[in-house]
Structure 1
C-alpha cells in the first residue's frame, strides 16, 4: 500500500500569464531563487502559473521545469486576467498567497515588506506606488501615467475607498480569505483586483497598503483607458450582486409605506391626516420655509415669517434640514404638501431597508427572518403613530448605519476611517433629528453595557478601538455642527428646554395594549386614554408580542446577543415609564429610573415615553434571531408551531392605513393675492385667532400664498419669560389670549377702553396691517370681539372678514 503524504505549504505564489513567453522565464527564475534562499523565513512554498489560453510557448516554460513546486493550471481559451487568477488561487494550498504579475514590476524581494504587514494583523498587504516610501525606478509615458492616475482616482472613489493604488499587481493575502474572495469574484478582466479588495472591504478584513519599489516594464497589456472599462464592469457587477430576495424585500417595504399613507399620498395637497393634529400644517410650513430660504439665499436657521416680529429659531425646531434642503427643488416645483408626503413615504421605506441590511449583516442572514425583523423595527405601533405627524421619527435610515459603523469600530480594523465616517454620519443625523440620535445613543449604550458584561473578552478587545473611533468621530462631527448648534442654543429665539409636564412617560398598561391604528384591535378611546395624543402612542406593542419576546429570550437565553437585546428592550421599556409611575389598578407610585436623567441637560427636553421606541428594533432583532432558528430546524411540529406563534403575535399590531380626510379649502383672499392690498412693507397679517399649536391652519394659508406675508403667533418652539423656558408657540400677549379664549368658549367678554388700548399696543407690536377672520367654529363671537377691539366692523372679501388697520376710525 502506498501512503500519500500531503505537503504543508506556507506560501503560494500565483502568476497569471497570457502569451508571456518573453517575460515569464526570468520572472520564474527570480521567484524560485529568492524563495529557495529564504525558506527559513517563508517556509515551504509553491508557484502556480495560471495560463490564460496562451498561443505561444508560455506553457512550455513551466512544464519543462524539473521543480515539482512550480505548477501549471490552464484555461481552454483566453478569458482575461480575472479568470486566470481565479483558477490560480483556487489551485493553491498555502497559508499565505502572493499574487504577482508576470513582468515582476515589483521585485520579489518586496515580499519581505508585505509579509511584515501581514504579520501585524492584516488580512492582506498590497504593494503600492502611491504611499509615502514607494519608489518608482522607471516611469510610464507621462500621458499614460496621468490617464492611469485619473482612472485610479475614480476607482478609489467609487469602488475601494481608502486604497490609493488598487492596480499594483503585487499583493499578499491570508490564504483562506484569498481563496474565498477570488472564488466569489465574477470579473474576468483585470478589474478583479478591485473586486477582491471590495470583498475584503465589505467583510471588514483589514488591508495594509505597503510602499514598494516598482519599475515599468514594456509589453504591458493594460491600457490607461481601460480604467473606464473597469468602472463599467464594477457598476454592472454591483447591479448583479443585489440578490432578488433583497430587492423583493425593499419593494415590499415601499408597498407597505405606500399603503400606510394611501389616504394622503395620491392627493397630498387636498388631503389631511387628522391624527397629526396641527403637525401636518407645521411640517409643510417647515419644508416651504426652508425651500424659500434656499431659493433666496437666506439663512435657513432663522425666519420671521412666523412669530413676527421676534421670529423663529429654525435650528431649535425640528425642520430636518438634512432633507428639507435637498427636497427644495421638489418643494418649489410641486409644493410642500407633495414634498412632505414623498419624503415621509420614501423615508419610511428606506428606514425599513436600512434595518433589513443591518439585520442581514449582523444578526440573521436568513432573508425572511431579516424581513420580519426590519418590518417590526420600522412599522411597529409607535412608529406608525409618529408616521401621522413626525418625519423626524419616521425617517430613521441613518440610525442602522450608525449602529453598523459603531460595530465596525469595535472590530478595530479601520479605526481612523470608520471614526471619520461615523462623525460624518452623526453630523448628518443631527440635521435630520437630534432627539432620535439621543434615543439611539441610549439604546446602543444599553446594548453595549449588556453585551460587554456577557462577553467580557469581546469588551476588552473592543473598548480601545471603539473609544478611539468615537473620539475621532466627535472631532469630525463638531466642526460641521458647531455653528448650527451654537445658533440653536444661543442664537435669536433660542430657549433652554421644552416643558412637557411633570410626567410624560408611558403607563405600564400602554406597553401591553393595542394602538389606535391596529387593523384588528384598534380602540381609539383606550389608546388615547393611555397616551398623550394620537401622535404620541409610543408603546402599544401588545401583550401577544410581549409574550413571544419573553418566550424567545427564555428559549435562546444562552446566546449573548439575545441577552443583550433582552436587556436593551427591558431597559428602554422601564425608562419610558418616566420619572415616576403608578402600579396599574392601585394608587401606589414608584420613582422610575428616568428620574436620574429627567433634569439633566439634553434629557430634560425628551418626551420620556418615546424611549419605548428603542424597543422596536431590539424586538425586531429578537424576532429575526428566533425565526432564523425556527427555519433551520428539521422538526416540522416545532417549525409550524413557532411560525404560528409569530403570526399570532404580529397580526394584532399590523397597522391600518392612516386616517385621511378632505382638507378645508384655502380662502381666495390668500390664493388670488388679495391680501397684498392690506399688508405693506414691514407689516404683518394677523389671523384671528393667532395661529398656535391648537389651531395652525393659518400656516397652510401662508404657504398657499407662497410665504408672501409675515404673521405673529405660530406653531413652533420658542422662548418664554426671563428664564427663556421653551414653550410651544409664540409668547402670549393679552389680545392673543383673549381671541384664543373666545375661539374655544364662544363667549365674548366685556371689552371696554382698556381692552381696546391693549389691543392697539399689541397690534403695534405685531406691526399689523390687517386682521383676517376665516369661517371656523365660533367665528360669530370672534367677529364680534374683533369688531369691538378695532372699533368698526370688518369687510367680507375673498371668503374672509378683513379689518384694515390703515383705515381711520
Structure 2
C-alpha cells in the first residue's frame, strides 16, 4: 500500500468494500493485471479500495500490497455511499471508474465506457437493460423480477431516461465525479441515483452503455436493496427542504415587505404614486370580484363601471386566480388590504419558485440559487411593475410550468405530466394571459437555442414533449374555453388594445439604470427612456450586461449557458419593437418584432415588456457563474469573479417603492349621503368621468361598498364599429368636454346645443346625481355644470352635487321614484 500522492494520474479505479475478504483479492488481481498489460492504453493509473469499516480480514488482503493500490478506511460501517464518497475524494484521476468488489462487469468492459466519454459524454454508466447488453449468469427468476421492479420504481421516480441506475460499473470525468460525490448526502445505495441526478441538473451528458454482466455468488446486492434505495431517496427528499431553503424563503418575504414598506403597514391610507391610477383600478378589481362571489354572480361581467354598458371582466386583468381566493380577505378587511397582502406574498412566492427551479435544475449551491432567483424576481423591470401590475410580478406558476415542461422532455410520465401541465396552464390563464404569452415566447426561444446546441437531446425530447403538450392542451382548453369565449365574444369584448407605435424599448434602456435602483437610480434618464414609471421594462445596467457577456465567454462549453444567453439577447432585441432607432441618430431599422406585431394576441402586447424575459435568464446565468466560482480552487479567480458579480448586482438593488398619503374619501360617499340622490337603476356621475388619467372615483365606489354604479371608468373596453380596445368607456360629447375643462381650466361657450347634448348624455348614463369633489379647476367645472343644468350645485358632505331629479322627472330621464335600498335590490 503506497502513501498518498498528489500528482494527477490518467485513471483512478475506486472499489468500495465491506467484508469482502474472499472476493476483493481476485478482483484487485484482475484489475491490476489488466491495467498493467494495457499501460499504453490507459496511461498512469491507480486503484483505491474504500473500506467501509469491515470486521473481517478485508484490510489484510494480500492484493492491497500492490504499489498502485491504495487503501482508505472508515472508522465504522456507514454504507456504500459513504465508502464511494471517501474513495472518490481520494482519487487523482482525470477519469474515475467505480466498480463493485464482485466485478460483476469484467474490467475489460472499461473500453466501452471510455469510448462513450471520448464521444463527448461526462459519464458513462454500464447498463444491463439497454440493447447490446449481455448477461452470462442470470439471477434466480424471482430475484431478477423483484430487482427489475425496484429498478423501474427508481428510474420512474428519480432519474428519468436512465434504465439501469444500480449497475456498479461507471466511468466519470474525474473533476466532475469528485464534485458530484462531494455534493452527495446519502450513505446508502441511493448514492448512485443522487450522483446521476447531480449530473442531470448540471447539464452534464450521461451515456448508458451496454455491458457484459454476470451474477456473482455471494453478491450483497439483492432485491431488498432496491427498497433501501427508495428509502434513501425518500430521506433525501425529506432533507431537500433544508434550513437554508427556509431561510431563503423568509429573506424573500422580508425583501418583498421592504419593497412595499411604504404601503404594506397601512394600505388603507397609503398610495403608490408611481402606480398612476392603477392602484385604484386593481383595488376595484379585487372589490368587484369579491362582491360577485359573495352574491353568487358571474365574475366575468359587471355594470358597476362603464354603466350602462358594463365591463367584460374576463377581457380585463382581474386575476381571477387570486382575486377569487382572496375574496374572503377582501370582504373582511377591504380591497386595499387584500391587494397589498396579495402583491407582497405573491412577489415573495415568485422569488421562492424561481429559487426552487434553479436549485432543482441549474445549480446546487443555495447561495448561488438565491442570487439568481433574486435577480429573476426583483430585477428593475419587475420592481417597476410592482407599483401597479400584480399580474406581471406574481409569476410563481411560471417556474412550475417550466419544470413540468422539462419533465415532459425526459419522456417518463408523459400522460401524468401532460395533465398536470394542462392544469397549471389553465390556472395561469386566470392569473395573467399576457405574462403567460411572454413566458411561452421565452421558453420557445430557449428551446430553439438548446436544441441547436444539443441536437442529441432534442432528438430524444421532441416526441414526448409534443405528446405532453397536446395532452396539456386537451386538459387546459375545456377549462378555459367558456371564459375565453366570453373574453373574445361576450358583452363589451374588443378585438385588440392599441398602445401606439412607440412602446418598444430604446437600446439605451437595456444598459441604463432604473429610477428605483437604490445605488444608481436616475429618475430623469429612466423616465426619458420609458413611457411611465410602471413600464421601465429593461434597465438592467451596463455592468450586468458586461457580466453576462463574460459568463458566456468563460462558460461557453456549457449548452445551458449558451441557450440562456441566446434567450436573453433575443428577448432584448424583440423588446426594441418593430422599428429600432439607433441612439443619438435618426437612423431607424426594422426590428424582428415586426414579424409578430400584427399577429393575434401579440398585437395587444406592449413589446417593451418582452425584455422582462431577460430577468430569469440572466438570473440563471449569474447562478451558474457563482456556483462555478464557489467550486474553484484558484483564489484569484474566486476573488475577482465574486467582485465582478457584486459590482454588477449592487447597482440593481431596489429602493422601497415611493408612497404617499392617500386622499381622504369625502363623507358624501362614506356616510351614505349618496343614497338620497341615486335611485334604483340610476348611476352616480363624478365630474369629470373617471378614466385612465383620473380614477379616484373607483376608490370612492369601493369605500361605499360598491353601492352605486359609475359611467366611464378605468378598464379595457370596445370603441366604434370595429370594437377596437381602448382604456375606459366609449367617450361621449359631454364627458369629453368636462374632461377638457378639468385639464385646461377653459369653459367653452355653452348654449342650447350643449345643453341638449348633455341631457341626452345624462339620460344615456341614467344619471341621478352629478358630483364634483375639490380638485384642480373645480370652479370651472362647477361653472360648466351650472350652464349645462341651469342651476348651481349644492355643497354637502364634502362635495358639490347637482340633483338631476326635478319634480319627479329630471334631466336624466329617471322615474323620480326614490329607493334608498336600490343597492340591496340590485344584489
* TM-score normalised by the chain length of structure 2: 0.73
Counterpart mapping for 1:331-730 below 5 A: 331-730=330-729
Aligned to 1:175: 166
8 Å Cα contact 1:275/1:535 also seen in 2? yes
CA distance 1:603–1:367, change in 2 (3 Å): same
C-alpha deviations, 1:183-242, integer Å up to 9, x for none?
97899xxxx99xx99x99x9999xxxxxxxxxxxxxxxxxxxxxxxxxxx9999977652
Structure 2: how far apart are the matches of 1:375 and 1:642?
19
Distance 2:145 2:441 in 1: 44
Structure-2 change in CA distance of 1:114 and 1:484 (3 Å): farther
Distance change in 2, residues 1:254/1:91 (3 Å): farther
Structure 2 residue 25 is the aligned partner of structure 1 residue 4: yes
Distance in 2 of aligned mates of 1:92 and 1:358: 39
Q: 1:789, CA displacement in angstroms?
A: 0.9
Whether contact under 8 Å (2:185, 2:236) holds in the other structure is: no
Indicate conservation of the 8 Å contact 1:117/1:125, yes or no: no
Distance across 1 between alignment mates of 2:741 and 2:754: 14
- CA gap 1:550/1:589 in 2 versus in 1, 3 angstroms: same
Q: Which moved more, 1:701-710 or 1:548-557?
A: 548-557
Provide Cα deviations, 1:521-564, integer angstroms capped at 9, x if missing partner.
22222111100100000000011111111111111111111110
Q: Residue in 2 aligned with 1:319?
A: 318
User: Can you list the C-alpha shifts for 1:411-453, whole angstroms capped at 9, x where unaligned?
Assistant: 1111111111111000000000001110011101111101100
1:11 paired residue number: none
Shift of 1:640: 1.1
> Which residue number in structure 1 is paired with residue 246 of structure 2?
247
CA change 1:109–1:474 in 2 (3 A) is same
Distance 2:142 2:714 in 1: 68
**Size of the alignment, in residue pairs?**
642
- How far is 1:5 from its partner? 2.1
Question: Where does residue 753 of structure 1 map in the other structure?
Answer: 752
Residue 295 of structure 1 pairs with residue 294 of structure 2:
yes
Do the aligned residues in 2 keep the contact of 1:123 with 1:174 (CA within 8 Å)? Answer: no
The match for 1:271 is 270
Alignment CA distance shift 1:749-1:448 (3 Å): same
> The residue matched to 1:268 in structure 2 has which SS?
coil
CA distance in 1, matches of 2:148, 2:247: 45
Q: Give the Cα separation in 2 of the matches to 1:92 and 1:427.
A: 53
Distance, in Å, in 1 between the alignment partners of 2:168 and 2:401 is 27
The structure-2 alpha-carbon separation of the partners of 1:240 and 1:571, relative to structure 1 and needing over 3 Å to count, comes to closer
Q: 1:500 to 1:178 in 2, by over 3 A?
A: farther
* Residue 570 to residue 125, structure 1, CA distance change in 2 (3 Å): closer
Q: Does the 8 A contact of 1:123 with 1:177 survive in 2?
A: no
How large is the RMSD of aligned CA atoms in angstroms?
A: 3.4
| 1:96 CA displacement | 10
- CA deviations over 1:374-416 (Å, ceiling 9, x no partner): 0000000000000000000010000011111111111111111
Q: Distance in 1 between matches of 2:571 and 2:322?
A: 28
Shift of 1:116: 6.9
CA contact (8 A) 2:303 2:311 kept: yes
Q: What do residues 79-131 of structure 1 show as CA deviations (whole Å, max 9, x unaligned)?
A: xxxxxxxxxxx99998999xxxxxxxxxx96667667778xx945499xxxxx
Which whole-Å CA distance do the structure 1 matches of 2:560 and 2:799 have between them?
A: 62
- How far residue 244 of structure 1 moved from its aligned partner, in angstroms, is 1.2
Residue 766 of structure 1 corresponds to which residue in structure 2?
765
Distance 1:238 1:332, change over 3 A: farther
The 8 Å contact of residues 186 and 236 in structure 2, kept in 1 or not, is answered as: no
Looking at structure 2, the residues matched to 125 and 248 of structure 1 have their Cα atoms a distance apart, in angstroms, of 31
**Separation of aligned partners in 1, 2:234 and 2:750:** 74
How far apart, CA to CA, are the structure 1 residues paired with 2:240 and 2:630?
Answer: 24
Q: CA deviation at 1:638?
A: 1.2
1:45-60 pair list within 5 angstroms? none
User: 1:327 offset after TM fit, Å?
Assistant: 0.3
Which structure 1 segments of 5+ residues have no match?
9-75, 77-89, 98-107, 127-158, 161-171, 206-232
* TM alignment of 1:33-48, pairs within 5 A: none
**TM-score, scaled relative to structure 1:** 0.75
Task: Quote the residue 2:84 is aligned against.
Answer: none
Residue 19 of structure 1 corresponds to none
Contact 1:685–1:770 at 8 Å: present in 2 too? yes
Q: CA deviation at 1:502?
A: 1.6
Summarize the Cα distance change of 1:186–1:454 in structure 2 as closer, same or farther, 3 Å threshold: closer
Q: Could you say what secondary structure the match of 1:577 adopts?
A: coil
Aligned partners of 1:715, 1:486: CA distance in 2, in Å? 23
Provide Cα deviations, 1:651-705, integer angstroms capped at 9, x if missing partner: 1111110000000000001001111111111111101100000000000000000
Q: Secondary structure at the match of 1:175?
A: coil
- Written as runs of structure 1 = structure 2, the 5 A alignment for 1:90-129 is 122=152, 124=154
Distance 1:238 1:526 in 2: 48
Aligned-partner Cα distance in 2 for 1:264–1:366: 34
SS at the partner of 1:269?
coil
Q: What are the ranges of 5 or more consecutive residues in structure 2 without an aligned counterpart?
A: 2-21, 30-75, 77-99, 105-125, 129-139, 171-179, 207-231, 811-827
State the alpha-carbon separation in 1 of the partners of residues 305 and 101 from structure 2. Answer: 72
Provide the secondary structure at the position in 2 that maps to 1:738: helix
Name the counterpart of 1:807. 806
Q: Are the equivalent residues in 2 in contact too, given 1:504–1:578 (CA < 8 A)?
A: yes
Tell me the residue number matched to 2:7: none
The 5 A counterparts of 1:109-188 are 122=152, 124=154, 174-175=165-166
Change in Cα spacing, 1:178 to 1:344, as seen in structure 2 (3 Å) is farther
* Structure 2 CA distance for aligned equivalents of residues 240 and 667 of structure 1: 56
Query: Given that residues 503 and 579 in structure 1 are in contact (C-alpha distance below 8 angstroms), is that contact kept between their aligned partners in structure 2?
Result: no
Kindly state the Cα deviation for residue 6 of structure 1 after the two structures are TM-superposed.
3.9
Cα pair 1:318 1:433 within 8 Å, conserved: yes
**Residue pair 1:123, 1:173 contacting (<8 A) in 2 also:** no
Post-superposition offset of 1:807? 2.4
C-alpha contact (below 8 Å) 2:27/2:102 kept by paired residues: no
Q: Distance in 1 between matches of 2:628 and 2:442?
A: 25
Equivalences for 1:58-69 in 2 at 5 Å? none
Deviations 1:230-270 (A, max 9, x none): xxx99999776520111111111111100000000000000
CA 1:109 to 1:631, structure 2 compared with 1: closer, same or farther past 3 Å? closer
Alpha-carbon deviations, 1:433-484, whole Å to 9, x = none? 0011100111011111011000000000000000000000000000100000
The change in CA–CA distance for 1:239 and 1:7 in structure 2 (over 3 A counts) is: closer
